[in-house]
Every structure is written in C-alpha cells, then in structure tokens.
Amino acid sequence: MKIIRAPTIARAHELAVKMVLEKGWALNTEDDEATIEYEELALDIEDPFAEPMASPCSRFQRRFLETYADNLLNGSEAEFEYDYHHRLFDWGERLSIDGVNVHVDQIDYIIQKLKASPESRRAVAVTWNPVVDESLDDCPCLQLVQCLLRDGRLQMKVVFRSNDMLSASGANMYALVHLQKRIADEVGAACGRYTHIALVPHVYYKRDLNDITPFCKKGLEIQPVPEVCAACGRCDRAPPR
C-alpha cells in the first residue's frame, strides 16, 4: 500500500490523481469503461479542515461540495440505488428480526460507544448490505468508517473498496471530514487525523478526459501513462497518430 501524506484534503486529492495516472495501468472494467487502475492508496491528512479543502484543479468546487456533504449528513430527496446517508444513519434495508424491520443509526452508535468507552476500537460503521448490494449495478464504494478518540482528538479512518480518485475522492473526503466533525462535536473532542484508504483507486481516463487536463497541465504537473496521453492528444506527450 502506498501512503500519501498531505497538509490538506485538496493536496491529497491532487497527489492521488497524479500517482494513479503516472504509476497505474490500463484496465477496462466489467462495465467496459476505460480506466487507469493502481494499487492500494492511503491518504493521510493531519488537519482535514486546513485550507484549501477543494483543489482548484477540480470542477467540483465549494458549492457542490457543501451540497454533497449536506446530503451525506442530512439526507436528500433524490432517488438513488443507494445513498451513504441511509447506509450510515439507517442501515438495514430489506432486513428484519422477528418480523421487525431493521433500522440501525450507526453514527449514533459510534457517538454513544465513544462517550461510554473513549478508548474503544469498536466505533465502526459499515455500508455493505449483501441482501441488497449483490444484485445492484451501482453498489457502495465506501465500505467502512472507524472513529478513534486519542489524545482528546477524534480520528476518522475510512475504507473504499473502489474509488474514482479524479471525480469522486475530493467530494468523498470533503463530506466525510464534515461527518468526522459532527461526531467530534457530539463527543466533545477536536477533529484529529483523517485517513482515506482506497483499495482499488482508479481514474476513468476516457470518460473524464476533460477533467484530467487541469490536473495534468499539459504534462507539466503530471506525466501520465501512454494510454492517457494517446486518448488526450493535447500536448507534446501524445504519441504520433
């Protein structure tokens, strides 16, 4: 696993995109989408609320990020195959015990667990629901959230089974550190380190080609693998046609 330590989530986003595009390999997904995939990445941010929280290279800026974070924290009326708010605050879709539907507020569990046992390593929430997700075309990428109280600070560690580092990870981090702050406030602690683990980090280099350009800056910031440059063709790094 490669570890990226960065002063801000914005910089972590930029460095993750750079690593995948420079070190990764081309792979078509099971849905036949062209990606550059890389090995496991851990993004470690000491102060997740340090600015900038949004990379200027990303098309998803503050207004979008704030809406995305609000949807994770408070829910949305939009209809999706799944959403992280319900998976974290109301887990248990299509499950029942003794005829009673399952509704688990995992975030409240984390809060109460840390209030009762500040040293606990069991303040964990999961999103995967096999009853639902094994048949979904679009299933959760975020799998696990763990919170720890150490030295008066609330740390958060998250695990993604798969993570689009270009178009999704910046928004994912922005929303999740706001969840971290909500939990920290409830248990009376300051926010500590945020660790974002992507087990299969990737970039959709054909679908999101226009979003790569601001990060790459025509090869001045990123020197992508040949497949990306061949698809782009916008600078001297592109192979002759």
Active-site annotation holder among 57, 139, 141, 235: 141
User: Both ends of the chain: CA-CA distance in Å?
Assistant: 36
Distance between CA 65 and CA 45 in Å, rounded? Answer: 18
Six-digit token pair at 116? 């009762």
Told to judge if 141 belongs to the known catalytic residues of this protein, a careful annotator would answer yes
Q: Does residue 143 contact residue 106 with C-beta atoms inside 8 Å?
A: no
CB neighbour list of residue 41: distance below 8 Å, 6 or more residues apart: 1, 2, 3, 4, 16, 19, 20, 165, 197, 198, 201
Question: Residues near 95 by Cβ (< 8 Å), separated by ≥ 6?
Answer: 101, 102, 129, 131
In Å, what is the CA distance from 156 to each residue of 7, 65, 241?
16, 19, 47
Question: Could you give the 3-state DSSP secondary structure of residue 212?
Answer: helix
Catalytic residues, by residue number, are: 141
